[in-house]
Structure 1
Amino acid sequence: MQGVTSLRRIQEFLMKGEDQKDRDADNVIAAVETAAPDAPSIAVEHATYTWEDNDSTALSDINFTAKKGQLIGIIGEVGCGKSAFFRSLLGNLHKTNGMALYNGKIGYVAQNAWVQNLTVHDNVVFGKKHNNDVYEKVVAACELRNDLENFPGADQMEVGIGGSNLSGGQKQRLALARAAYQNADIYLLDDCLSAVDANVGQNIFNNCIKSILREKTRVLITQTFQYLPECDYIYVMKNNTFVEQGTFEELHAQQGSEFLRLYSNYVANVSHQDEHGKRILKRKMKNGIKVTQLIHGESRDTSSILKTMMTYIKYGGWFNFAMVVFFFFVSSFLLLASNFWLVLWTDPSKKDQ
């Protein structure tokens, strides 16, 4: 029933006419295919965006420029519109005013890493032809080599649905490796080092973002100031727009700026976390608690399923077993009936009947 309903809705969607509201060349993101050699990779001027599902403003009066080969940093508080800016560059927001152009193929690494239920290797190459030199460089630069050595089957290990066999840091590094392997012209990196520790993050920043991708245009959203001094240019976002911009030295010299406020909060927070971590470690050492590996390899025991089932039935009684089976079928029927009723209730063609 659910499958039939889904297929019908997909058919209705595919049969709809194209929406022409975003076809105006002055009102969409345009790819500049015949740009001059010194043309910027991304150019946004006085652009305002709204969310696709409603008319509320997502970004207002955005001015942004990224030249070819530049490393741009974007900093701001949580919820200020940084990820929405990337969504606007990807064409997922509706532009109501201004101009936005980009020149080249875009590679995107989301904050919440997305991986396919395939092998590690297939997630990296992502449908492209395997190039061993590029593959090995990308895997090493994204700090995946040690992981592959510990994985059963190395890069042929299945990552599982939603990357269930991987940690958060491993998924983020895998997503970054996939993007780097695609050899795009522009890379939008949405806080892609947030799930790894500071040392690993710095290695990836040096070996991948600043080395392998050094000739690409890179825009890095970050919540930490660790990488900003090495950025060519920085934009500060607040209340869904860019309020300050400049090099790290220029922004750091501006008294009373939003950048300095964020920097002061960051320094205070890092100092507090370091002291808190030291206190916890000291307390563990004092109490004799051994810090060991939290996650161990899994093991699996196999035996006769039928024998186990018969043991449960024997001790529970045949009557109770029959009642369990009966109520199982009753619950399945009621669930199916509720889905059927929901389909009838939400069918627009039935509302006036």
Structure 2
Amino acid sequence: QDGFMLSNINISALNRGEILAVLGPVGSGKSTLIEGILGEISSSSKTAIVQNGKVGYVSQIPFILNSSIRENILFGLQYDEKRYKEVIDACCLQPDIDNFDAGDLTEIGERGVTLSGGQKQRVSLARAVYSKPSLLLCDDPLSALDANTAKTIFESLFKPSLSPFDKNNSSMHLLASSAIVLVTHASQFLNRVDNIMVLVEGRPSFLGTWDDLKSFECKDELTMRSIESLRTAVQETSETVKNDASASSSLHYIDNQSSDRLVLSEREASSRRNTDIANGDLMTIEAREHGQVTFKTWLLWFQYAGGVLFLIIQTVAVSADRFAFVLIDWWLAQWTKAHDGPITVLGKEFPSQEVGRSGQYQYLAVWAIVYLFAIVLMAVRTLWAVYGGARCSRKLFSLMLSGVLKAPMFYFETTPLGRILNRFTYDVEILDFTLIENMVEAMMSLAWFITSVSVMCSILPMIGAVIVPVTVMYFVLSNH
């Protein structure tokens, strides 16, 4: 309740084809008003927001898709060639599009990185106009445009007309059926809108026409300071626009008279920035390897996990672990043989099972010691593998981070941010967990295979003649 609040605002009298300009000092609630109409902020129970028809919105910070210019303007709507061209012309985008090799099918990258601020603002405005909104909400859409471009777009889209459906003015016809709420600091256009609302600290201090504003007087000092600043800004801006127009005419005259002089426009600068973009494809295709993991990849993993030292320790730990579990089975076999009489192991005699519990305890003690030893070895080889995997993951993460930080700006223009984030999140998670788990299982499976084959061959040497061709056949079939 102690936060900023808009109050006593009523714009229900705004009709289609009319423009309501919303002005005020910084922090007066202009953008908040737009968000309130959109329902993006909380409102009191006494607030009534009724929207009839489609609502278009042009934000102060343009929203740009990682797609082509055309897709950014259509925004999922069906392509209407006639209206599309009218919108392009009205928003002064055609000269910019002509400078792209692939025209409006050119990809413009993440957040429109290949476009200037003014171009992004005009694309956002064109999207809203193309959607044929009943109510168009514009949050300072002319702020990123130069004076001449802003004047052209305002006259094409926002300037009121005595005959909105005049066929000779197709660009004006685009917004003839739309009610427009225009938040703007472009004070030079105030005398050309239908109504003006001046917000001061969240309250409408004035609502009327430009003629009413010129003669408006009140006792509130803050309101009068805001209105006086608007009057002064309109006068100063009008003089500036006249001077800019005169200077622009002079520049064109110089350009026509001398081929040695170059007047660099925003479109030409954009063209130079996009000379490397061909066929409209800006985003690079992600390179992926398919099929079986190469031996080089395994070597790289072991190298970053600790190199030769890691491999030696892991091999010893896995071998000792497998030996311990084989020793458990062997001891159980010896324990079973003691049923017929005492046995001798490593020079020590163990009693027959017929002796009773005292003899059983000796066998059980050896079994428990060997089993505990196997558990310790299993923990050692697992922890060492996890340590190596974490070390490999940390190394790869550092290399990836260093590569991204040192990458040229063109890399970020041609690589979607989602792809980069995916590498640093999901892929790192795979390195930290899934890959380590799979590596441990792979090493244990290999150890089990070698141990099993060794035991079988020691018991029945002839089985080796069968195992070798079966193993070769298995690898051949797995590769196909």
Bucket of the pairwise TM-score, normalised by the shorter protein: 0.5 to 0.7
User: Aligned in 2, Cα 1:298/1:251: closer, same or farther, shift over 3 Å?
Assistant: closer
* Separation in structure 2 between the aligned mates of residue 297 and residue 137 of structure 1, nearest angstrom: 26
Q: Where does residue 72 of structure 1 map in the other structure?
A: 20
Q: Where does residue 9 of structure 1 map in the other structure?
A: none
Q: List alignment gaps of at least 5 residues for structure 1.
A: 1-49, 279-289, 301-321, 341-353
Q: Where does residue 187 of structure 1 map in the other structure?
A: 136
Q: Where does residue 57 of structure 1 map in the other structure?
A: 4
2:105 is the alignment partner of 1:156: yes
Q: Is the 8 A contact 1:119 1:158 kept in 2?
A: yes
Q: Is the 8 A contact 2:6 2:203 kept in 1?
A: yes
Q: Where does residue 260 of structure 1 map in the other structure?
A: 228
Q: Where does residue 29 of structure 2 map in the other structure?
A: 81
Q: Is the 8 A contact 1:191 1:222 kept in 2?
A: yes
* Separation in structure 2 between the aligned mates of residue 237 and residue 267 of structure 1, nearest angstrom: 20
Shift of 1:333: 11
SS in 2 for 1:64: coil
User: Which of 226, 230, 235 is the matching residue for 2:192?
Assistant: 230
* Separation in structure 2 between the aligned mates of residue 270 and residue 208 of structure 1, nearest angstrom: 20
Give 1:125-274 correspondences, 5 Å limit.
Answer: 125-210=74-159, 211=172, 212-255=174-217, 257=224, 258-265=226-233, 267=235
* Separation in structure 1 between the aligned mates of residue 273 and residue 10 of structure 2, nearest angstrom: 50
* Separation in structure 1 between the aligned mates of residue 230 and residue 57 of structure 2, nearest angstrom: 26
User: Aligned in 2, Cα 1:329/1:156: closer, same or farther, shift over 3 Å?
Assistant: closer
Give 1:285-296 correspondences, 5 Å limit.
Answer: 293=264, 295=269, 296=272
2:90 is the alignment partner of 1:110: no
Q: Is the 8 A contact 2:56 2:131 kept in 1?
A: yes
Q: Where does residue 24 of structure 1 map in the other structure?
A: none
* Separation in structure 2 between the aligned mates of residue 234 and residue 123 of structure 1, nearest angstrom: 31
Q: Is the 8 A contact 2:16 2:176 kept in 1?
A: no
Give 1:1-20 correspondences, 5 Å limit.
Answer: none
User: Aligned in 2, Cα 1:198/1:146: closer, same or farther, shift over 3 Å?
Assistant: same
Q: Deviations over 1:196-243 (max 9, x none)?
A: 111111111111234120221011111121211111111001111211
Using the size of structure 2 for normalisation, the TM-score is 0.47
Using the size of structure 1 for normalisation, the TM-score is 0.63
Query: By percentage of residues, which structure has more strand?
Result: 1
* Separation in structure 1 between the aligned mates of residue 46 and residue 118 of structure 2, nearest angstrom: 38
Q: Is the 8 A contact 2:188 2:234 kept in 1?
A: no
Shift of 1:60: 2.7
Farther off after superposition, 258-267 or 219-228 = 258-267
Q: Is the 8 A contact 1:159 1:166 kept in 2?
A: yes
Q: List alignment gaps of at least 5 residues for structure 2.
A: 160-171, 219-223, 247-260, 277-306, 308-391, 402-423, 430-480
* Separation in structure 2 between the aligned mates of residue 251 and residue 193 of structure 1, nearest angstrom: 22
* Separation in structure 2 between the aligned mates of residue 184 and residue 221 of structure 1, nearest angstrom: 17
Shift of 1:125: 1.0
User: Aligned in 2, Cα 1:143/1:273: closer, same or farther, shift over 3 Å?
Assistant: closer
* Separation in structure 2 between the aligned mates of residue 191 and residue 330 of structure 1, nearest angstrom: 42
Q: Which runs of 4+ in 1 moved over 6 A?
A: 269-275, 332-336
* Separation in structure 1 between the aligned mates of residue 393 and residue 51 of structure 2, nearest angstrom: 62
Give 1:325-336 correspondences, 5 Å limit.
Answer: 328-329=395-396, 331=398
Q: Is the 8 A contact 2:16 2:178 kept in 1?
A: yes
Q: Is the 8 A contact 2:100 2:274 kept in 1?
A: no
* Separation in structure 2 between the aligned mates of residue 134 and residue 273 of structure 1, nearest angstrom: 31
Q: Is the 8 A contact 1:169 1:195 kept in 2?
A: yes
* Separation in structure 2 between the aligned mates of residue 272 and residue 134 of structure 1, nearest angstrom: 34
User: Aligned in 2, Cα 1:328/1:292: closer, same or farther, shift over 3 Å?
Assistant: farther
Query: Superposition RMSD on alpha carbons, in Å?
Result: 3.7
Q: Is the 8 A contact 2:187 2:237 kept in 1?
A: no
Whichever of the two has the greater Rg, that structure is: 2
Q: Is the 8 A contact 1:254 1:260 kept in 2?
A: no
Instruction: In structure 1, give the amino acid aligned to 2:30.
Output: K
SS in 2 for 1:227: helix
SS in 2 for 1:121: helix
* Separation in structure 2 between the aligned mates of residue 175 and residue 157 of structure 1, nearest angstrom: 16
Shift of 1:120: 0.6
* Separation in structure 2 between the aligned mates of residue 250 and residue 189 of structure 1, nearest angstrom: 23
Q: Deviations over 1:32-61 (max 9, x none)?
A: xxxxxxxxxxxxxxxxxx7xxxx6233233
* Separation in structure 2 between the aligned mates of residue 169 and residue 121 of structure 1, nearest angstrom: 17
Instruction: In structure 1, give the amino acid aligned to 2:7.
Output: S
Q: Where does residue 43 of structure 2 map in the other structure?
A: 95
Report sequence identity in percent: 31
Instruction: In structure 1, give the amino acid aligned to 2:101.
Output: P
